[in-house]
Amino acid sequence: MKLKEMFNQGSVGALGQAIQGAYPAFDPDAFATDVFDEAWPDRELKQRMRHISQVLHRYLPADFATALEVLRRALPALEGQGFVKMVFPDYVEQYGLDDWEVSIAALEVFTQEASAEFAIRPFIVHHAPRTLAQMLAWAGHSHPDVRRLASEGCRPRLPWGIALPNLQADPSPILPILDQLKDDESETVRRSVANNLNDISKDNPDVTLAVLKRWQAEVDDPPGDDLAWVTRHALRTLLKQGHPTALALLGYPSPPAIQVRNVTATPRRIRIGDKVTLAFDVESTGDRPQKLMIDYVVHHMRANGHLSPKVFKLAKRTIQPGEVLHIEKRHSLAPVTTRRYYPGRHALEPQINGQVFEQVLFLLEEEQV
């Protein structure tokens, strides 16, 4: 089932019944008729959510605070429902921007049933100081979903969320929130902290690195498993870029004391849909064990005739002095929804601890009909 199909006759019907139970004047049949209009099949996920919120607005009391109270009372009847409850924070996002106190109180409740990470962002844009102060207070909330909202909602580059250009330019207001949540007992909250730092690293890598260095300095050496995981996950973009400080934070020397030989790509001519094998040998030239983060780069031919690199993860190894590792990786050129392949010259190259080595070429031809 596609995600957008989670908004369907059953879930929208359950929503209407729940609201009627909290507000007897509500007409669930008329509501459903208006939701499933002629344009419904062509709407995507967020368009369907927004359309339901807009239709709901026509059937709820005109007073915003009264409408929110109806939605609060309806929530218990939706236990077991999933996606349809996303309409509740979306309703606040659309109609509550001018009523900050009532809206923020509602989002605190609704996020415990359906994340308000998207709904909070317009409040950050239009009411930044007080909203970020509230999110810092939420970082100490007893409910993990509210604590997650404190971090997830202010991610500078949250996928599918509206942009927060001020926080992209200056993420310093976010940092006290992350400081408070970095050791949270909830794995979901810690993951959000790592994702937020990874977002920050795309615009302000030095900020992310400084925060992680400070966190490591504040704990015993080495850091515990949870902080080590947060650090790795927060650095994933910088690691793919081969950032030497990011690598050093995880104990990977950059550049490593190694030689890479016998780099091959076989076969040298393949069709779209086939696989090419990258193989190479790694020999240690150092006098002590070294941690290696072994990746590889595929240079894809684009529609404009230029090559575009993309880094793929391969392996993490520890190599001993004088040891030789043989590495092989089969890479698929099968079409996927997120990438289109164009025929022409492509290239492969190993990347180890951020350093790229010998590049080998192969030819990609049209898929055989």
Are residues 149 and 91 located together in one domain of the fold? yes
Are residues 116 and 226 located together in one domain of the fold? yes
**Distance separating alpha carbons of residues 162 and 119, to the nearest angstrom:** 9
Structure tokens at 292: 């290696």
Among the candidates 214, 249, 284, a domain finishes at 249
Are residues 227 and 312 located together in one domain of the fold? no
Among the candidates 222, 249, 276, a domain finishes at 249
Are residues 228 and 267 located together in one domain of the fold? no
pLDDT of residue 262: 97
CATH number at 312 reads: 2.60.40.10
> Residues 311, 312, 317, 322: is their CA dihedral positive or negative?
negative
CATH number at 217 reads: 1.25.10
Residues whose CB is less than 8 angstroms from the CB of residue 248 and which lie 6 or more positions away in sequence, other chains included: 254
3-state secondary structure of 226: helix
Question: Which residues of the chain fall short of a pLDDT of 50?
Answer: none
Closest among 99, 46, 28, 114 to 68, alpha carbons compared? 99
Are residues 270 and 325 located together in one domain of the fold? yes
pLDDT in tens, 190-246: 999 999 999 999 999 999 999 999 999 988 666 678 999 999 999 999 999 999 999
Are residues 202 and 311 located together in one domain of the fold? no
pLDDT of residue 267: 97
Structure tokens at 317: 């190894």
Domain that holds residue 211: 3-249
Residue 365: strand pairing partners: 271
3-state secondary structure of 304: coil
273: left (phi over 0), alpha (psi -120 to 50) or beta: left
Residue 328: strand pairing partners: 279
Among the candidates 206, 224, 249, a domain finishes at 249
Are residues 238 and 263 located together in one domain of the fold? no
Whether 87 contacts 56, CB under 8 Å: yes
Are residues 231 and 282 located together in one domain of the fold? no
Are residues 235 and 265 located together in one domain of the fold? no
Whether 147 contacts 138, CB under 8 Å: yes
Are residues 125 and 55 located together in one domain of the fold? yes
pLDDT of residue 222: 67
Other beta carbons within 10 angstroms of residue 185's beta carbon come to: 9
**Distance separating alpha carbons of residues 129 and 7, to the nearest angstrom:** 35
- Using only C-alpha atoms, the chain has a radius of gyration, in whole angstroms, of 26
DSSP classification of residue 186: -
Structure tokens at 345: 């010259």
Are residues 205 and 281 located together in one domain of the fold? no
Alpha carbon of 102 to those of 65, 178, 200, 303: distances in Å? 7, 26, 30, 50
Helix, strand and coil in the chain, % to nearest 5: 45, 20, 30
Alpha carbon of 60 to those of 15, 47, 69: distances in Å? 13, 20, 10
Are residues 145 and 237 located together in one domain of the fold? yes
Domain count, the chain: 2
